[in-house]
């Protein structure tokens, strides 16, 4: 008797197709990771090999002098401390403002809620520009202070919309049960809504951390004081300010300047590694919640 095929049965693909897909995925991973690997091997290779651009697949020679210069530079550690202040304060403020802004917009019986959400979308896409922002920072007394980096970035409309969407997915029966037990809106928000919203808070946290860590333009515009510069601004100075006029130097000074220039060429690779590794190591702490939170809205029941 001929056996009927089950049309609902999931058929397994051929091994050849699996090999092709895995090979393509591996190729994409290698292409994605190679630029960072290239920077790493350039940062530890011999400076002469780096200048000659002879390093491609593996380090040639071994030299850690550029890392030694970075570690011994007090201005780098000052910039590192400033960046930590900006990242920690900015992330906490972003999470707090997102929670406080999203909760009222997720309550269904609030009058004008939909119009307010539409209004918030306007400044998310349109801004006043650099000159009005510069004049505003001056008028508020924030120019050339750490607050000029912290306060303007404390509120993100995109984060508010993300958290609002997550809050709206919480069952109404859970909220009603809390109100029946005598909870008010503040208790509902911080004792129930926030603890179950860890995935979406992890998402906006990692986005905020990466954004602030990689930011340098605001410091370039608003912070002439180098003691307040973040780490990326330090990297900007290292990469840009490395030219020396050899014609104005003696022979001994020229040799020393050439050696310094060779180190400076490699220094930009070392500082890239040094400033990137902390943010890379941050992701595993958020990975558990990040994948769940980033899929918000992808599935509908």
pLDDT tens for residues 1-42?
555 555 554 455 567 877 888 888 888 888 888 877 887 777
User: What residue ranges do the domains of the chain occupy?
Assistant: 15-51, 65-294
Q: In this structure, what token pair is assigned to residue 151? A: 């306060």
pLDDT at 172: 79
Q: Which ranges of the chain would DSSP assign to H, the alpha helix?
A: 15-44, 47-51, 65-72, 74-106, 113-125, 130-139, 147-150, 157-168, 172-180, 185-188, 198-213, 217-222, 231-240, 251-294
Residue whose C-alpha is closest to residue 55's, from 42, 36, 39: 42
- Please identify every stretch of the chain with a pLDDT value under 70, giving residue numbers as ranges: 1-14, 48-52, 65, 238-266, 283, 285-301
Residue that the structure tokens 């269904």 belong to: 108
Q: Measuring CA to CA, which residue among 255, 264, 270, 209 is closest to residue 85?
A: 209
Rounded Cα gap, residues 275 and 26, in angstroms: 27
Tell me which architecture the domain covering 65-294 has in CATH.
Orthogonal Bundle (1.10)
Following DSSP, what letter does each residue of 144-193 receive, concatenated? TSTHHHHSTTS--HHHHHHHHHHHHTS-HHHHHHHHHTT--HHHHIIIII
Tell me if 99 sits within 8 A of 194, measured CB to CB: yes
pTM of the model: 0.72
């Amino acid at each position: 008797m001929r056996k009927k095929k089950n049309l609902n049965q999931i058929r397994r693909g051929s091994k050849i197709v699996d090999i092709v897909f895995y090979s393509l995925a591996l190729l994409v991973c290698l292409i994605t990771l190679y630029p960072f690997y290239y920077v790493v091997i350039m940062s530890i290779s011999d400076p002469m090999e780096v200048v000659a651009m002879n390093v491609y697949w593996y380090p040639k020679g071994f030299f850690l002098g550029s890392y030694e210069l970075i570690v011994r530079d007090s201005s780098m550690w000052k910039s590192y401390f400033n960046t930590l202040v900006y990242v920690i304060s900015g992330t906490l403020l972003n999470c707090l403002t997102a929670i406080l802004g999203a909760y009222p917009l997720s309550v269904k019986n609030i009058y004008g809620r939909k119009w307010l959400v539409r209004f918030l979308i306007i400044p998310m896409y349109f801004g006043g520009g650099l000159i009005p922002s510069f004049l505003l920072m001056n008028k508020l007394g924030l120019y050339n202070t750490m607050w000029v980096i912290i306060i303007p970035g404390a509120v993100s409309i995109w984060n508010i919309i993300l958290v609002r969407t997550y809050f709206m997915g919480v069952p109404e029966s859970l909220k009603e049960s809390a109100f029946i037990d005598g909870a008010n809106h503040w208790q509902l928000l911080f004792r129930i809504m926030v603890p179950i919203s860890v995935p979406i808070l992890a998402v906006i946290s990692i986005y905020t951390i990466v954004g602030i860590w990689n930011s340098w333009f605001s410091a370039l515009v608003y912070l002439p004081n180098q003691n307040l510069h973040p780490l990326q601004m330090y990297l900007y100075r290292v990469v840009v300010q490395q030219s020396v006029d050899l014609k104005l130097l003696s022979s001994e000074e020229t040799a020393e300047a050439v050696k310094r220039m060779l180190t400076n060429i490699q220094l930009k690779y070392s500082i890239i590694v040094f400033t990137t590794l902390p943010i890379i190591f941050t992701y595993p702490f958020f990975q558990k919640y990040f994948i769940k939170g980033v899929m918000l809205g992808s599935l509908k029941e």
